Structure 1
Amino acid sequence: MKITITGTPGTGKTTVSDNLDIPVIHLTEFVKEKGLGEQKEEFEVDIPAMVEALEEETDDYEDVVIEGHLAHYYPSDLCIVLRCDPEVLDERLEEREYSEAKVRENLESEALDIVLAQAIENQETVIEIDTTNLSREEVIEKMEEKIEKWPEVESDYGKVDWSEWL
């Protein structure tokens, strides 16, 4: 089973994926190691090359998690989109010492459902989990429930709405 965990930076992707009992490919590291992009104002990823390299990389895995804010571009069996209230996300991103412009861009992306919309466009089965008030263990439990139900699990998204934040 190939699982992608995606979401706006700061929603908890790395934190939860590192605690699953499934091998994980951290997309940010993978892309940089394979030279699948170039540094401009920000690191710009060659998405078709990334998908192709992931297809080769995942051939050897029966089960694997691909984690990263661009993971939803890789065709997976189950795509999990982590969400977070922009007010909480703001605190998390400021702790990372992101620039004010980058924080604002990510908060707007979260409020506008950008990653979710891209995931829905690129994946067959999409699960949305609001991590705002959940512990790491609770998020993992919700994810594991969906993983265990696959392939019977159906898409479940559209309940999170941060548009008032805008």
Structure 2
Amino acid sequence: MAQNSGGRQRPNILITGTPGTGKTTTASALAEALQLRHINIGDLVKLKNLHDGWDDELDCYVINEDLVCDELEDVMEQGGNIVDYHGCDFFPERWFDRVVVLQTENSALYDRLTKRGYTGSKLSNNMECEIFQVLLEEAKESYPEGIVSALRSDCIEDISRNVENLTNWVRSWSPSMS
């Protein structure tokens, strides 16, 4: 049986990885399968203006990490959340019972990002991030070793398998989720 943190009835899971690795697809499918709350940090930042403006070079909002954490504190304490974001080192360690880093083979990731319209430094920065496993290292440095795992996310079959494995993990963590 997985360990239950902080007296929560349902676990919190962070799904992280380079843009284009399937975080939102995986988090949405997992949330639906388990009737948990999916929190897409990028959407939350836009919706609640939890940012410090726009970065023209990287073509994205500069998130205000303190505002994001303040916004999420109460809901994270309740448990039952699947958080989806391409960073992880600013979230409090106590929030998560499992941290999943999705990884995608470089040519597949390149194709996904170019289809999204990524070019120039935004494309090269994200490709380098994946090649050098920056997010996996960030997760390993930010969370206990036993809760961090890297999962392949090259194709729809990988995503389905990951959702199934995470669903089984949640059910073992919380018998009431069965």
TM-score by length of 2: 0.75
Equivalences for residues 32-51 of structure 1 within 5 A: 32-37=46-51, 38-41=53-56, 42-51=60-69
Kept in 1, the 8 Å contact 2:102–2:151? The answer is yes
Larger helix percent: 2
Aligned to 2:149, the other structure's residue is in SS state strand
Query: Across the two proteins, how many residue pairs are aligned to each other?
Result: 150
Larger relative contact order, structure 1 or 2 (CA cutoff 8 Å, min sep 6): 2
* Structure 2 CA distance for aligned equivalents of residues 131 and 149 of structure 1: 23
Letter in 2 for 1:122: S
Structure 1 position 118 matched with structure 2 position 135? no
* Structure 2 CA distance for aligned equivalents of residues 126 and 149 of structure 1: 17
1:105 maps to what in 2?
A: 125
Cα deviation code 1:13-59 (max 9, x no counterpart): 11111112221111101122222212132311122332222213334
2:44 maps to what in 1?
A: 30
Kept in 1, the 8 Å contact 2:88–2:142? The answer is no
* Structure 2 CA distance for aligned equivalents of residues 120 and 150 of structure 1: 21
Displacement of 1:121 in angstroms is 1.5
Cα deviation code 1:116-159 (max 9, x no counterpart): 111111112201101125523122123223334449xxxxxxxx
Gapped runs of 5+ residues in structure 1?
152-166
The one of 6, 26, 39 aligned to 2:16 = 6
Letter in 1 for 2:115: E
Aligned to 1:18, the other structure's residue is in SS state helix
* Structure 2 CA distance for aligned equivalents of residues 82 and 144 of structure 1: 16
Structure 1 position 147 matched with structure 2 position 170? yes
Aligned CA-pair RMSD? 2.0
